[in-house]
A and B are shown apart, each in its own frame.
Chain A
Amino acid sequence: MTDITPELVAEHGLKPDEYDRLTAAIGRAPTLVELGIFSVMWSEHCSYKSSRRHLRKLPTSAPWVVQGPGENAGVISIGKNRDGVELVAIFKMESHNHPSYIEPYQGAATGVGGIMRDVFTMGARPVANLNALRFGSWDHARTRHLVGGVVAGIGGYGNCMGVPTVGGETNFDAAYNNNILVNAMCVGVAERHRVFYSAARGAGNPVVYVGSKTGRDGIHGATMASAEFDEQSEEKRPTVQVGDPFTEKLLLEACLELMASDAIVAIQDMGAAGLTSSSVEMASKGAALGEGGIDLDLDRVPQRETGMTAYEMMLSESQERMLMVLKPGKEDAARAIFEKWGVDFAVIGETTASGRIVVRHAGEVVADLPLGPLADEAPNYDRPHDPKQAPAPLADPKATYVEVEITLEAPDKSADGLNELAAAFIEDRLTHESIANIGATISPGRIVIYAVSAFGQSLLTAPLREAAANLKQSGVIEAFDVEAREASVDLADQPGAITMLTAAARLMTGPDLCSRKWIWSQYDWSVMADTVIGPGADAALVRVHGTDRALAVTTDVTPRYVAADAREGARQAVAEAYRNICAVGAAPLAITNCLNFGNPERPAVMGDFVAAIDGIADACGGLDFPVVSGNVSLYNETNGVGIPPTPAIGGVGLLDDIGRTARVGGAEAGDELIAIGITRGHLAQSLYLRDLFGIVEGPPPTVDLGTERRNGELIRKLIAEGLVTACHDVSDGGLLVAAAEMALASGEGLELKTPVKQRKAAFWFGEDQGRYLIAVAPGAADTLLLKAAMAGVQATRIGRFGGNFIRLDQSEKGADIIGLLDLAELHERPLPDFMAGPVAASSVTGENLMPMPADAIRNMILEALPDADIEIEDLAGDGDHYRARIVSAAFNGRTRVQQHQLVYKALKGKMGGELHALALETEPRD
C-alpha cells in the first residue's frame, strides 16, 4: 500500500491541518484512493469551503422559484404551455477559467459541455447558451491565441449540440493577461412534473453509469481549479479534459428519452472530480433525507484504457458521463434506450443505507468512507477579510493639450496641387501617437494645417516645424509660419482636443465597445428556430417552444466598477442584468452567478468577495430577483497577481408575448429619441475617462434600487403598449454611445441635442445607472412623456432619427458630425483586424481633402458590385462632394447600414476614409 507522506498530502492540495482533520474524521490513515477522494471533495471547487458561509446571505426564494441553489442548476416556473402543462426554466452559469487558459479550445468546449449537462441532467432540454468572457489586453502576446481558441471551442461544442449560443459579453483588460475568465451559462426548459434531482434516496437501487468511457484525462482538474497558477501551469495540459460534443448530443437525447418514462430516482452529471463527486454528492443528499449510502464496483465501469487504477478511475474527469440511480427493475428498458443511441450503459453499484461510500476494485475494498466528513461536514472557513476603503469622489478631471497651426504659403500652386500637398503632409503624420487630431483648410495659395496633441502627450511641434522647413528648402512652398499654444479643458465639458462624436467613435472602436460580431457569427444562434433576438442585443430572447412566450437572457458585470468598490459594483451587475431584461420588454425573474475572484487566503481578496456577496444580496432582494444557482471560482491568480473581482451575473426573465418586444434597432426616420432616467453626469470609473484619458479613479456610479424598479416597470409597460419602436439600456460609454449604437442597429442617423444647463461631456458620457434610451414614433412622444411623468420617471427628449449622419448640437457654426457608415466601419473593423494579425492602428482622422473624379468612384463601385446601376452627382462642382444613388442585387436582404458598408468597402483605401463628402442612397434590386 502507498505510504501517505506529507509530500503526497501537499500534492493533493490538502493543508497539514486539513489532513489532521481527515484522519480524525475516519479514525485512521486514508488509503491513496481515499486521499484522492478527500482531496477533490475538500477542494474549493467542490466544498466551497471559503465561500459557503457567505453564500447563505443570498436571497434564494420567490413564489416562482421551484429549486434554489444546491442542485445541478436552479429551477423557476415560467407558466403553462398550450396543453396546460406547467413549464420551468432551468439554468446555471459555471467557470472553466484555468483549463481555458491552458488549452483554450478544449477548455472552453468542455466548459460549455459541462454546463449543458448540469441543465439536462435535471430533465431540461437546453435552449440557450451564453458566455461571459474576459481576456487580456490586445497587446499581450497570448490574447489573440486565447480568443481564437475559446471562441472556436464554444462554437465547436454548442453548434454540434444544436443549442443556440445567443448572447454573452466580452471584455479585454491587462488584468486578465494571465488569468482569462470563461464563464458559460446554459438555460433549459422542462415540464415541471419531469424535473429530476440528485438525491439518491432509498437503499437497494441500481447505480448506473452512462456516457463516454472513463479514461485517464483530467485527473485532478478540480484540484487544479482550486490552486494558483505559476510558470509551470502550462505543463498541466494533461489535466485538461477533451470534449466530444457528438457523444454529449447522443447522451442528451438518450437521457431525455429515458426521462420521459418513470425510471429515474436520481441523476447527476459527472463534472469536476467525476465519479467521486457525483457519487458522494448523490449519496450524501440521499443520506440527508433519511437514508443514503453507495457501493461502487469499479470493475464494471466502462473503461477507455486498460490497466487503470481505482485512483485514476475515481478522479478521472473524462467528459460526457452521468451517474443515475434507477428504480429496481427498470435497468433493461433503460439499457435499450442508451444502446439505441449508441451510448455506454453499465450498472456499477447500488445504493445502501450505510451512510458510507464503499468502492471496490479487483475484488478489494479500496475506499470505505463515511459520507458526512466528505460533504456536509467538509471544512467551512471564515477566512479573514479586510473591507476595502470606499474610493474618494473624483475631483473635476482636467486635461491640458497643445494646439499648433502651421501656415504653408505656396502662391503658385493650383488648387489640385495644394490639395495633394495638404493630403501628403497630413498622411505622413497620422501615425504619430502624440497627435489627437490633424486637419487642413485650403485657400488660394495657402494651406493652414491644424494639429492638436493627444491627452498626456506633448505635441511634436519640432518635427512639424522641420517638415515645413524641408518643404521650403526643397522649394515646394515659399514660406511657412508655426504658432503653438497650450489649452486646458474640464473633461466634464469637452473631451480634450477632440469633438464629442470623435470621442464616442474612439470608444466604440476600442476593445471594450467595438462590435463582437466576429465572435458571435461563429456561433449557431438560430438553431432550434426559436431565437427572436440573437447576439449583440441587450438581452437575447428565445421563444419557449410551443408557446407565445419567450425567455430573456443576459450576462453582466462591469469589472472596473467592482474593482473600485466591490459592493456597489456587484449591485450594479445585478441591476444591469435586470435592466437588460426590461429593455426587451421581459419581466426579470431570477439570476445565476459565477463569482470569479483571486486567492481567498488574502484578506483583501476575501474582503472584496464578502462585499460583492453583500452587494448581490442587497440588489437581488431589492429587485425581487433571487439567486437560484451559481458557481464560485477562486484562486484566479498567477504568480501572486489576482484578477479584478468579477462576479458575473446571468439573468433570466420572461416575456408574455413575443409580438410585444423592443430591439436596439427598429427606430425609423422621424422617431424621437428619449432618455429615460436621471443623468447627473457620473464620470468617475467611466469608459470615457479610462479609455480616452487614462483616468481610472473615484467611485463607480451608484444604483438606486427603487429607481431601477420604477424605470424598469415603466419601460416594460411602454413596450407592452407598443409605444416604443426601439429600446437600449444605457451602460458603458453613456448616452452618446448608446444612441450611436441604436442609430447603427436601426440604419438611421440621428440629430442629437444637449439639454440646456448640462455639462456636455458629463451628460453624454456619464455612466449614471437606471437609464434607457427609447425611440418613439413622432405622434406618440407626448403621450409617452405624460405616462413617464405620471409614473414619476424622468424622460427627456434628446434627439430625432433620420438621415445618414449622427449630428450633435446643430447651430449656425455647424455641428459635430459623423457619417453613419463611417461609424459602422470603425465599430466593426477592430476585432476582425485584431484577430487577423498585428494590432491595426485605429484612428479617427481629420479631413482628407483628396479630390476624386466621379468616374473613378463609379468604376470602383462597379468592380465590387458588377450589376450596380449608379447615378453620381457632384454636389458642389469641386470634385469632392458627391451624392450617389446605387441600385444593386447585392443589397437585397441587407439593412441600410450593411448596404452602405458594401459601397464603403468598394471604395476603401481609395477615399481615405473620407466619406462625409459622399451622400449615399442605396436600393435593393427588385
Chain B
Amino acid sequence: MKSAVIVFPASNCDRDAAVALRDATGNQPVMAWHGDRDLPDVDLIVLPGGFSYGDYLRSGAMAARSPMMETVADRAAKGVRVIGICNGFQILTERGLLPGALLRNAGLEFVCGPVAMRVEAAAARFAPSLTAGEYVTFPIAHHDGNYTAEKDVLDRLEAEGRVAFRYVANPNGSANDIAGVVNEAGNVLGLMPHPERAISQVLGGVDGRRFFEGLVGAMAAA
C-alpha cells in the first residue's frame, strides 16, 4: 500500500505522520511538496498538522489554494482516501472538500493535552479497527479547532452519519462536540486530534496506531 504526506511551508507534523504511516503500511510514504502538482499513484494521502503559511489570512486558507491541493482534490474525487489532521482538517474545509469551518477555540487560548473521544459511525467505517460507541484518546494541540457549520449542514452531517469523532469533554467549543467529520462519499476524513501522536504505549497510548492499522488493513482487504 502506498501513501503520501503533503508538505506545506511550516507543516510541522509531517514527519510524525510519515512515521505513523510507515509503521502501519510497512512502506515509507512519499513526501510531496505543496508547490508541485505531480503526485505518484497512492492509496492514501495525509495532510499533516502544522501552521501552513504561518496561519496567515486564516488557518489553512493559503495552503488550500496551493498547486498540490488541485491534485489532492482530483484524487479525492476519484475516491482516493484523504486524511487531514489538525491544520490538514483546516485545509480540507478551506478547500471545500469537507463542510464547515474551524474557528478560534471558544476559550481563545491554544489547548494541548490528551482528549477522550467517542468513535462515531463514520470513523468506524473509515477504520474498521475502531467500533462505533467506543472511546479513544488522541492528543490535541490547536488554537483554531472550534468546528462550526450552518444548522442545516450540521443536521445533514448527523442524519447521514458523517460525524467521525465526538469529544467527551468539549475542549474548544465545537458544535455538537464534533472532533472529526467525513465527506459525502466517506473517503475524506478531517479531524483536529492527532492520531499520529498516539502510536506507542510509552508515548501516550496506542489508539492512534489502532486507527492507522485498521484503516490500512481495510484498504488492503478492499
Q: A interface vs B, CB < 8 Å?
A: 152, 155-156, 159-162, 244-247, 249-250, 341-342, 520-532, 543, 658-659, 889-890, 892-894, 902, 924
Q: Is there contact, CB below 8 Å, between B141 and A159?
A: yes
Give complex CA distance A342, B35 in Å.
Answer: 11
Contacts of A531 in B (CB 8 A): 203-204
Contacts of A526 in B (CB 8 A): 112, 139, 141, 194, 197, 204
Closest A residue to B13 by CB, please name it.
A527
Q: Is there contact, CB below 8 Å, between B197 and A527?
A: yes
Contacts of A659 in B (CB 8 A): 202
Give complex CA distance A924, B116 in Å.
Answer: 11
B43 within 8 A of A: no
Give complex CA distance A526, B135 in Å.
Answer: 20
Closest B residue to A160 by CB, please name it.
B51
Which residues B108-166 have CB closer than 8 A to chain A?
Answer: 109-118, 135-137, 139, 141, 143
Q: Is there contact, CB below 8 Å, between B197 and A159?
A: no
Give complex CA distance A889, B113 in Å.
Answer: 18
Q: Is there contact, CB below 8 Å, between A522 and B10?
A: no
Closest B residue to A893 by CB, please name it.
B116
Q: Which residue of the partner chain, among B49, B54, B135, contacts A246 with CB atoms under 8 Å? A: B54
Q: Is there contact, CB below 8 Å, between A244 and B54?
A: yes
B168 within 8 A of A: yes
B16 within 8 A of A: yes
Q: Is there contact, CB below 8 Å, between B51 and A245?
A: yes
Q: Is there contact, CB below 8 Å, between B13 and A893?
A: no
Total A-B pairs, Cβ < 8 A: 109
**Given A893-B115, A893-B116, A893-B135, residue A527 in contact with residue B109 (CB < 8 A):** no
Q: Is there contact, CB below 8 Å, between B135 and A889?
A: yes
Q: Can you list 15 A-B pairs, Cβ within 8 angstroms, ordered by A?
A: A159-B110, A160-B54, A162-B10, A246-B55, A341-B9, A520-B112, A521-B109, A522-B109, A525-B112, A525-B141, A529-B19, A532-B202, A889-B118, A893-B137, A902-B169
Q: Which residue of the partner chain, among A155, A246, A524, A893, contacts B10 with CB atoms under 8 Å? A: A246
Contacts of B187 in A (CB 8 A): none
Contacts of B56 in A (CB 8 A): 246
Contacts of A156 in B (CB 8 A): 110
Q: B interface vs A, CB < 8 Å?
A: 9-10, 12-13, 15-16, 19-20, 49-51, 53-56, 109-118, 135-137, 139, 141, 143, 168-169, 194, 196-197, 199-200, 202-204
Q: Is there contact, CB below 8 Å, between B199 and A529?
A: yes
Closest A residue to B117 by CB, please name it.
A893
Give complex CA distance A890, B135 in Å.
Answer: 10
**Given A526-B112, A528-B15, residue A245 in contact with residue B54 (CB < 8 A):** yes
Q: Which residue of the partner chain, among B113, B117, B135, B200, contacts A924 with CB atoms under 8 Å? A: B135
Given contacts A525-B112, A543-B202, 13 further A-B contacts (CB under 8 A): A162-B10, A162-B50, A246-B53, A246-B54, A246-B55, A250-B10, A520-B112, A526-B197, A527-B12, A531-B203, A543-B203, A659-B202, A890-B168
Give complex CA distance A719, B29 in Å.
Answer: 38
Give complex CA distance A249, B11 in Å.
Answer: 9
**Given A245-B51, A249-B51, A529-B197, residue A162 in contact with residue B12 (CB < 8 A):** yes
Contacts of B13 in A (CB 8 A): 162, 527
Closest A residue to B19 by CB, please name it.
A529
Q: Is there contact, CB below 8 Å, between A524 and B141?
A: yes
**Given A526-B194, A892-B135, residue A521 in contact with residue B203 (CB < 8 A):** no
Contacts of A924 in B (CB 8 A): 135
Give complex CA distance A524, B169 in Å.
Answer: 19
Q: Is there contact, CB below 8 Å, between B168 and A889?
A: yes
Contacts of B115 in A (CB 8 A): 893
Give complex CA distance A821, B82 in Å.
Answer: 43
Contacts of B113 in A (CB 8 A): 521
Contacts of A245 in B (CB 8 A): 10, 51, 54
Contacts of B197 in A (CB 8 A): 526-527, 529
CB distance from B112 to the nearest CB of A (A): 5
**Given A524-B112, A529-B16, A893-B135, residue A250 in contact with residue B203 (CB < 8 A):** no
Q: Considering residues B12, B109, B194, which has the most beta carbons from chain A within 10 angstroms of its beta carbon?
A: B12
CB distance from B7 to the nearest CB of A (A): 9
Closest B residue to A125 by CB, please name it.
B15
Q: Considering residues B13, B115, B199, which has the most beta carbons from chain A within 10 angstroms of its beta carbon?
A: B13
**Given A658-B202, A893-B168, residue A527 in contact with residue B55 (CB < 8 A):** no
Closest B residue to A541 by CB, please name it.
B202
Closest A residue to B207 by CB, please name it.
A893
Give complex CA distance A525, B113 in Å.
Answer: 8
CB distance from A80 to the nearest CB of B (A): 20
CB distance from A512 to the nearest CB of B (A): 23
Q: Which 8 A-B pairs have the closest CB atoms?
A: A162-B12, A246-B54, A893-B116, A892-B135, A524-B141, A893-B137, A160-B51, A529-B16
Q: Is there contact, CB below 8 Å, between A160 and B10?
A: yes
CB distance from A307 to the nearest CB of B (A): 27
Q: Which residue of the partner chain, among A160, A523, A658, A892, contacts B55 with CB atoms under 8 Å? A: A160
**Given A522-B110, A527-B13, residue A894 in contact with residue B54 (CB < 8 A):** no
Closest B residue to A522 by CB, please name it.
B110
Q: Which residue of the partner chain, among A244, A342, A522, A889, contacts B9 with CB atoms under 8 Å? A: A342
CB distance from B10 to the nearest CB of A (A): 4
CB distance from A925 to the nearest CB of B (A): 8
Give complex CA distance A348, B137 in Å.
Answer: 52
**Given A527-B197, A530-B203, residue A250 in contact with residue B137 (CB < 8 A):** no
Give complex CA distance A246, B49 in Å.
Answer: 14
Q: Is there contact, CB below 8 Å, between B12 and A249?
A: yes
Q: Is there contact, CB below 8 Å, between A521 and B9?
A: no
CB distance from B169 to the nearest CB of A (A): 6
**Given A246-B10, A658-B202, residue A524 in contact with residue B196 (CB < 8 A):** no
Give complex CA distance A902, B169 in Å.
Answer: 10
Give complex CA distance A525, B137 in Å.
Answer: 16
Give complex CA distance A559, B214 in Å.
Answer: 52
Q: Is there contact, CB below 8 Å, between A524 and B110?
A: yes
Give complex CA distance A530, B203 in Å.
Answer: 7
Q: Considering residues A155, A250, A892, which has the most beta carbons from chain B within 10 angstroms of its beta carbon?
A: A892
Q: Is there contact, CB below 8 Å, between A246 and B203?
A: no
Give complex CA distance A246, B10 in Å.
Answer: 6
Give complex CA distance A520, B196 in Å.
Answer: 21
Give complex CA distance A152, B105 in Å.
Answer: 14
Contacts of B112 in A (CB 8 A): 520-526
Give complex CA distance A152, B111 in Å.
Answer: 11
Q: Is there contact, CB below 8 Å, between A528 and B10?
A: no
Contacts of A525 in B (CB 8 A): 112, 141
Closest A residue to B196 by CB, please name it.
A529
Closest A residue to B9 by CB, please name it.
A250
Closest A residue to B204 by CB, please name it.
A526
Contacts of B139 in A (CB 8 A): 526
Q: Which residue of the partner chain, among A247, A521, A543, contacts B111 with CB atoms under 8 Å? A: A521
Q: Is there contact, CB below 8 Å, between A528 and B16?
A: yes
CB distance from B102 to the nearest CB of A (A): 16
Closest B residue to A661 by CB, please name it.
B202
Give complex CA distance A396, B9 in Å.
Answer: 63
Give complex CA distance A659, B204 in Å.
Answer: 13
Give complex CA distance A890, B118 in Å.
Answer: 10
Contacts of B111 in A (CB 8 A): 521-522
Give complex CA distance A20, B128 in Å.
Answer: 79
Contacts of A159 in B (CB 8 A): 51, 110, 141, 143
